[in-house]
Amino acid sequence: MQAELLGMAMQDLTGRTGAFAPKYSGNLELNYQNEVGQGYWLDASINLRFVDEQYLEQDLDPIAKQASYEKTNARIAISSPEDTWQVALLAKNITDEQTFSQANDVPVISYAHRFLTERGREYHLQLSYRF
Amino acid sequence: MSHPNDIVLGASVLIPDLVGTSLGIGADFEQDQTAYSVFASGNWRFSSDWQLNLGLRYQKEEKEVTNKQTNKQTIYTLFSDFTPEPVRQFAEVAAPSITASLSGAYANDLATDRDESHLSPSISLQCWGCENTMVFANASIGYKGGGFDGSGLNSSQGSVIDPDSGFEYEDEKATAFELGFKSEVIESVWELNTTLFLTDYDDLQVSEFNGNAFVVANAAETRVQGLEMESRWAISEHWKLNTQLALLDFEYQSYE
């Protein structure tokens, strides 16, 4: 612990993976578009993003490991004829997954970490109008 | 770029006898950087189905840097109103040695520069010989310039740069290979793109936490390989399915 405090701890990561390197990641998006009524358009989509576990620190500290996760977003929109106006309802991270984007050691205090959290569940209502 | 740094954060936590005292060391880091680059490329369609692309990039980078961690000006003490007078007097005297032993940062006044230039070639071959499909193979070499660490945690003393202080880090070299295709598997219905890649890094620059701050160091030989796939499928007039998948294998081949 003394060596770590003085910044003299060494690591050999030969053969190990790196930070921010999930073994798999990907995205699936299903989209539906159709005319509803006279010239009105419905545009709906649902999106699933999946990411394998990954380390959030270069030293591969097991404390700062983000587990694999899936996040779902959805969007439904109605547009008027000629696209004059559009109303869209969005839901992001519907399952309210709690994930971290970064982690840092806190200086001097051994084992203390600071995590940056990503956004939880969100709803957005978007209105647009073209003059 | 010039910034002061607090290095010993809350030393009072570690030294319970120094009630209501915080010690710090500041650093003045300044860097002047000049970069030039030229890029040239040529495409040769040597038959109706085949094309060869060649590229060459030249880059030159110059960096001049000064780092001042001077005793009298930048090692400082902060006290609460209730800090007893004897504690203040002791802390004022002991501040330089305490900050040095805790953070490894000594008083110094450094000035140096680096100058590097690189030639980065690339070659790619494309073929449209297969039906609705373009197949390609690329190879390229690229560099990321070296530089200096401005975290203000330098263990150098006086004007001599300690080679183990991590003050200067070297350039990183990447050698990359790609093999892939872009295909309209079913015309106007299904598009599929796939790329296999392999990149070897020499002297990969990694950000290391040395216990007090992040410093950049050339730690490793690293191989990153994987597969990227992208599919766009118009299932019907109204339904579409888009898919992306990435497989990644990152491995430090040697880490110093």
Q: What is the pLDDT of residues B156-187, one digit of tens each?
A: 888 888 877 778 899 999 999 999 999 999 99
Min Cα separation A58/chain B (Å) = 7
Reported confidence tier of residue B2, pLDDT bands at 50, 70, 90: very low
User: Residue A24: its pLDDT value, please?
Assistant: 97
Average pLDDT over all residues of chain A? 89
The confidence score (pLDDT) of residue B213 equals 61
Nearest CA in chain B to A1: B211
Chain B CB contacts of A7 below 8 Å: 103-104, 153, 210-212
In this prediction, residue B67 carries a pLDDT of 86
| Residue B13 confidence class, pLDDT cut points 50, 70, 90 | very low
Cβ–Cβ contact A112 with B under 8 A: no
**pLDDT higher at B50 or B158:** B50
Query: A13 and chain B: CB distance < 8 Å anywhere?
Result: yes
Is this complex scored with an ipTM above 0.90? no
Counting other chains too, the contacts that B69-73 makes at CB distance below 8 Å and 24 or more residues apart are: B69/B25, B69/B26, B69/B27, B69/B28, B69/B105, B69/B106, B69/B107, B69/B108, B69/B109, B69/B152, B69/B154, B70/B107, B70/B108, B70/B109, B71/B96, B71/B107, B73/B26
* pLDDT at residue A25, as a whole number: 97
Give A59's contacts in chain B (Cβ within 8 Å).
208-209
The domain spans of chain A are 26-129
Task: Say whether pLDDT at A45 is over 90.
Answer: yes
pLDDT by residue (tens digit) across B139-159? Answer: 999 999 999 987 766 778 888
pLDDT for A107: 65
Is some CB atom of chain A closer than 8 A to the CB atom of B253? yes
Query: Is the CB of B248 less than 8 angstroms away from the CB of A25?
Result: yes
* Residues of B whose CB is below 8 A from A14: 252-255
Tell me the count of A-B CB pairs closer than 8 A: 104
**B35 and chain A in contact, CB less than 8 A:** no
pLDDT tops 80 at residue B38: yes
Domain B32-68+113-255 belongs to what architecture? Beta Barrel (2.40)
Buried b (16+ CB within 10 A) or exposed e, B220-248: bbbebebebbbbbebeeeeebebbbbbbb
**Contact (Cβ atoms closer than 8 angstroms) between residue B249 and residue B228:** no
**Mean pLDDT across B98-111:** 76
Contacts of A104 in chain B (CB under 8 A): 209
| B200 compared with B23, residue with greater pLDDT | B200
CB contact under 8 A, B102 and A31: no
Chain B interface includes A14 (CB < 8 A): yes
Q: What percent of chain B has pLDDT over 90?
A: 52
Q: What is the pLDDT of residue B20?
A: 74
Report the residue of A1, A10, A11, A17 to disrupt the B interface, i.e. the one with the largest count of B CBs within 10 Å: A17
- Give the residue, A21 or B206, on which the prediction is more confident: A21
Q: Measure Cα distances from B39 to B60, B76, B199, B202 in Å.
A: 12, 49, 22, 23
The full set of domain ranges for chain B reads 32-68+113-255
On whether any CB of chain A is under 8 Å from the CB of B222, the answer is yes
Assess whether pLDDT exceeds 70 at residue A125. Answer: yes
- Closest chain B residue by Cα to residue A29: B242
